[in-house]
Structure 1
């Protein structure tokens, strides 16, 4: 079975995908650290192959292969391509191959929505989307699937890009507007949920701007030198992560405040395994839940890819056998 990007999208509706992520974080999943392999090329920049395996014993096993070839840009080809191979956990026989870029984008946005389900206020209705690239187009509908979002504000380094995305959102029936970055402070103060999906290496969101009750969702930082929020934001918020091991090893949003003595590992209240199992109840467990400020930092994990691949395979198989 091969599922291209369009079929992957159709097989992973937001509510089902979010529930699948919630379920798999309560299961005994083996998910080793991702493998990085450098590939030298003649007359071109070095490439990289990333392998992200995960398995549930006796059920499913899978691996995502991500190929990063920077030299492709010169010939008009995408620099990144990825595929996911899902196999039977009992026999090792391949079951399905899935286009990996769509799978990754959807499970990333679904993880943010899952976190919002635990961490944003139930009455949250105003979403600030920082960044208007590809991921923003997944994050907005994912957040809308768990909260009754009535107002979306979009900002980006390129105001034209933010305006284009806001227009797309309005065409779907959402009330949406675009602002320039110099209006970001006021937009931050008015937001219930702030989702950031950028490649920034400098803070965009400052802790002094945050208002009581806000939920801050940080997607972009996946290296120790990248960050989207400053030290004060991290200090003022109750901090949650998808996985402690990944977030503490890869994200400058946490690594930099730690190096500055502004954050410790004990300040991270819970990860998905605890939230999904109910051992930490998220915002509901915090002192003054209505006014608490929460922060969720994700860097992605192979367990999320596995959950998405299993869901897509089972949904398509059920449809074919109906």
Structure 2
């Protein structure tokens, strides 16, 4: 038998935002431990590099194989492309292949909004009923973070900050056609935001961390690697901090390591996603909360299993 293949549209149809968020939440409550996740593997490739992300689970296991080609955008091609191969854990027999790029485009915002939802719920005064959300970025991840925020945070007002006004306007127009209202914004809107989502490829801080309001939530998820950062050390030091996984953060969260040494973070032991959904986060009154995400293989596996069990093969 040939393996079923789920293309980008099939992946998207099988994992709407709330389905993806709930699947990730359920996996964490059912025993998935981010600290046991496999580290991602990098290997040189012509014109870029390979990125391999394996993960194991009780029922399914899988691996995402991506290529990163920095020169592709100039050719009108995607910088990151790849596939996901899903296996049955008991026999290690492959059961499906699916579009890995679209899988990433879903699981990243779903994980971010899962974290934001629980961080808001842990606020001393409770979550705002109509939060003001400011998204930095105008690429695919920014677009999908807006879509996910619209689904997970009904009643939220949405605004986008980007370096290129034409890309911001294109994004606003595209979302308007989907029934999602988004306004253009700037750094000056940060102090009024309840939630700031950083989804860019910037390697330097996007704004002065002192602008963030007490009690606000900031998610920095657009970059990984110890040389990259979307927020400054000032924000890190004045915030409660939540990470996807402590080990993965020490390996790749450049937003955190310059602010404190690895040994300090090991002593602080910030809450990870499992702690967060289990209700173990205790937020400090008057402090922002920073969520730092780098992307983890267990999230791909959970989402791929949803696609396989709910989706229609291409």
TM-score, normalising length: structure 1: 0.86
Pairwise CA RMSD of aligned residues?
2.4
Structure whose CA Rg is larger: 1
Deviation at 1:90, TM superposition (A): 1.4
Match of 2:16 among 13, 16, 27: 13
Structure 1: where are the runs of 5+ without partners?
none
Which residue does the alignment assign to 2:51? 50
Q: Is the 8 A contact 1:52 1:65 kept in 2?
A: yes
1:237 correspondence with 2:239: yes
1:36 correspondence with 2:42: yes
Deviation at 1:275, TM superposition (A): 1.6
Within 5 Å, which residues of 2 pair with 1:22-171?
A: 22-26=25-29, 27-28=31-32, 31-39=37-45, 41=46, 45=47, 47-57=48-58, 59-70=59-70, 72=72, 76-120=76-120, 121-171=127-177
TM-score, normalising length: structure 2: 0.88
1:215 correspondence with 2:217: yes
CA distance in 1, matches of 2:172, 2:68: 30
Corresponding pairs, count:
302
Which residue does the alignment assign to 1:264? 265
1:2 correspondence with 2:8: no
Deviations 1:221-244 (A, max 9, x none): 211111111111111111001111
CA distance in 2, matches of 1:313, 1:122: 36
Assess, with a 3 A threshold, how the Cα gap between structure 1 residues 35 and 309 changes in structure 2: closer, same or farther: same
Q: Is the 8 A contact 1:67 1:82 kept in 2?
A: yes
Deviations 1:227-274 (A, max 9, x none): 11111111111100111111221121011112599x634445300121
CA distance in 1, matches of 2:210, 2:262: 18
Q: Is the 8 A contact 2:130 2:157 kept in 1?
A: no
Q: RCO greater where, 1 or 2, for CA within 8 Å and sep 6 or more?
A: 2
SS for the counterpart of 1:96 is: strand
CA distance in 1, matches of 2:190, 2:76: 37
Q: Is the 8 A contact 2:283 2:289 kept in 1?
A: no
Assess, with a 3 A threshold, how the Cα gap between structure 1 residues 70 and 160 changes in structure 2: closer, same or farther: closer
SS for the counterpart of 2:236 is: helix
Structure 2: where are the runs of 5+ without partners?
121-126
Q: Is the 8 A contact 2:150 2:180 kept in 1?
A: no
1:311 correspondence with 2:306: yes
SS for the counterpart of 1:255 is: coil
